[in-house]
């Protein structure tokens, strides 16, 4: 039986601050052309610095750190969305990630059409997406809006559909980043139950969250990031203590 794991050796991830800060081409071009005709100095962002660790099959890892510590970058790097600048990254197993749930939608297409589109982005086949379409529609519970364009949806409706699609199938390696930020109370409760089911089914879990009690209940290992550095890797209880000490957070 194949073992699943994540192996990182001296991983660095560097990207341009221009790509990070500018939200539109118009803003980017405007900032590049100054009154004196000079371009602003571009400083690279060293987001992850010399990260080395191995996560083995069966482990449940909590990822802790202040805002900007590198947690989301770490998860996206493991998922293969961000290329590393140096070092070695090995991920063995099917990866399923839950973050940026609203990304990947075609606003002019209907919710039903977007089930297929988003499934393709997740690496799933058209035939498979068609086979689970009604299950996704039922879970999202959008009524007649499932056949309306996505641009007519509220933020909460988009999250519900994206969550229903992204969690319709599990993976060996489950990467979670806070996960849910919108939806009514009934959907939130339903979503939490499904997440727990996915956690149970996964071989490896990496969960980034500011909810320390959730981390301690779901995880047995904790990794603390601080300004892109890995500053602690050990038991989840000690990781929480380290996070609090490093960031001056009261118990």
pLDDT tens digit at each of 251 positions of the chain: 568 999 999 999 998 765 555 455 555 556 655 545 555 555 788 999 999 999 999 999 999 999 999 999 999 999 998 999 999 999 999 998 887 676 678 999 999 999 999 888 877 889 999 999 999 999 999 999 999 999 999 988 988 898 898 888 888 999 998 765 555 677 878 888 888 898 999 999 999 988 899 899 999 999 999 999 999 999 999 999 999 999 988 77
Distance CA 244, CA 251 (A): 7
Q: What is the DSSP letter of 150?
A: G
Residue 99 lies in a domain: no
Count of domains forming the chain = 2
Q: Are 94 and 122 in contact (CB under 8 A)?
A: no
Residue 98 lies in a domain: no
- 237 and 196 together in one domain: no
Distance CA 125, CA 35 (A): 52
- 144 and 83 together in one domain: no
- 89 and 124 together in one domain: no
The predicted structure's pLDDT at residue 250? 77
Q: What is the DSSP letter of 93?
A: S
Residue that finishes a domain, picked among 202, 217, 235:
202
- 55 and 127 together in one domain: no
Residue 41 corresponds to which tokens in the numbers above? 């100095």
Residues near 161 by beta carbon (within 8 Å), at least 6 away in sequence: 111, 114, 115, 136, 140, 142, 146, 150, 153
* H helix or E strand, kind and range, residue 144: none
The predicted structure's pLDDT at residue 142? 93
Residues near 136 by beta carbon (within 8 Å), at least 6 away in sequence: 115, 161, 164, 165, 168
- 161 and 225 together in one domain: no
Residues near 48 by beta carbon (within 8 Å), at least 6 away in sequence: 11, 12, 13, 70, 73, 74, 77, 84, 228
Residue 224 lies in a domain: yes
The predicted structure's pLDDT at residue 188? 78
Residue that finishes a domain, picked among 181, 202, 223:
202
Q: Are 243 and 236 in contact (CB under 8 A)?
A: no
The predicted structure's pLDDT at residue 123? 79
- 235 and 195 together in one domain: no
Residue 102 lies in a domain: no
The predicted structure's pLDDT at residue 179? 65
- 62 and 47 together in one domain: yes
The predicted structure's pLDDT at residue 187? 80
């Amino acid at each position: 039986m194949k073992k699943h794991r994540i192996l990182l050796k001296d991983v660095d991830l560097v990207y341009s601050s221009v790509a990070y800060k500018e939200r539109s081409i118009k803003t980017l071009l405007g900032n590049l052309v100054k009154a004196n005709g000079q371009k602003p100095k571009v400083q690279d962002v060293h987001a992850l610095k010399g990260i080395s660790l191995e996560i083995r099959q069966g482990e449940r890892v909590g990822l802790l750190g202040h805002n900007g510590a590198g947690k989301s970058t770490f998860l996206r790097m493991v998922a293969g969305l961000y290329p590393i600048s140096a070092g070695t990254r090995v991920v063995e197993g099917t990866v399923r990630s839950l973050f940026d749930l609203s990304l990947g939608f075609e606003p002019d297409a209907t919710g039903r059409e977007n089930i297929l589109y988003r499934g393709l982005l997740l690496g799933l086949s058209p035939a498979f997406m068609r086979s689970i379409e009604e299950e996704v529609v039922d879970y999202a519970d959008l009524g007649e809006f499932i056949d309306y364009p996505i641009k007519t949806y509220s933020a909460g409706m988009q999250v519900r559909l994206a969550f229903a699609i992204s969690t319709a199938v599990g993976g060996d390696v489950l990467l979670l980043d806070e996960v849910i930020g919108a939806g009514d109370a009934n959907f939130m409760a339903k979503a939490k139950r499904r997440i727990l089911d996915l956690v149970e089914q996964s071989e490896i879990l990496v969960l980034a969250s500011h909810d320390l009690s959730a981390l301690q209940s779901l995880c047995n290992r904790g990794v603390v990031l601080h300004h892109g550095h890995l500053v602690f890797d050990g038991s989840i209880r000690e990781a929480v203590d380290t996070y609090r000490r490093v960031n001056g957070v009261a118990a």
